[in-house]
Structure 1
Amino acid sequence: MKLVFVYNADSGPVSGLFDIGHKLFSPETYQCGLCSLTHDTFSEKQAWKSFREESAVDMEFLHRDEFEKKYGESHEYPVVLRSNGELDLVLSKNDIDAIGSVEELIGKIRSLVS
């Protein structure tokens, strides 16, 4: 089993710079709840990085353009999917938007895989 995390952002340096600017100047309108939970303005949050590195669960992280190219599917992003031969939605955009902290996200991920 693998968890696939899909960010509501496109890949590439221009998109990355746009995202940084958006986080700095208008964070309340930033449209990727998963990005906000797992990353600060310039880097991955330490609690998330530690969890990700120490977890026995296989995880894949993709931007929406990378995901759609690789899997040929589209969703309302961000999402977390479980890949076990097929892709199953485990956390929707609404689920992710309701999560208040990286610690809460980690708890939800742990409950999904236990």
Structure 2
Amino acid sequence: MPILAILVRFIWGGLAIVLPSLVGRVLLALGIGFVTYKGFNIGTDFLMNLIKNNLSGMPSDITSFLAWCWVDKALALMFSSFTASLAIKTAQGSLTKMVFKAK
């Protein structure tokens, strides 16, 4: 039993040193990821509305064919995956580049 207590104290001591830096890095990554996601979400929503408005000016036969091909859903999928990918890459970049030192 004393070995287990020593092991727990050793792990807890290591976590106590790393934990403040880790919490700061995670919060920073979440904040940057959220701002990036919101910013690009606004931009992609604008582009999506622009594309939909331009598609609505087409003849009805073409728009019904495009709706049958699910072009609108494919565009929404591409824009949302682009935004999510960008937010994840930004959050990962901030985790690896920024280092906080505990005082």
- TM-score of the alignment, normalized to the shorter chain, above 0.5: no
Is the strand fraction higher in 1 or 2? Answer: 1
Higher relative contact order (CA 8 A, sep 6+): 2
TM-score (norm 2): 0.23
Query: Which has more helix, going by share of residues?
Result: 2
- Give the structure with higher Rg (CA): 2
